Amino acid sequence: MVRPHLEYCSTVWSPHYVKDKQMLEKVQHWFTHMFPHLKKLPFKVSLEALGLWSLEERRKRADIIEVFKKVKQLTSVPWN
Q: Check if the beta carbon of residue 24 is closer than 8 Å to that of residue 54.
A: no
What are 11-24's pLDDT values in tens digits?
666 777 888 888 88
Q: Tell me what percent of the chain is helix, strand and coil, each rounded to the nearest 5.
A: 60, 0, 40
**Overall domain count for the chain:** 1
What are 47-75's pLDDT values in tens digits?
999 998 888 888 888 889 888 988 898 98
Q: Which domain holds residue 39?
A: 32-72
Residue 43 inside a domain? The answer is yes
Residue 44 inside a domain? The answer is yes
State the pTM of this model: 0.69
Residue 1 inside a domain? The answer is no
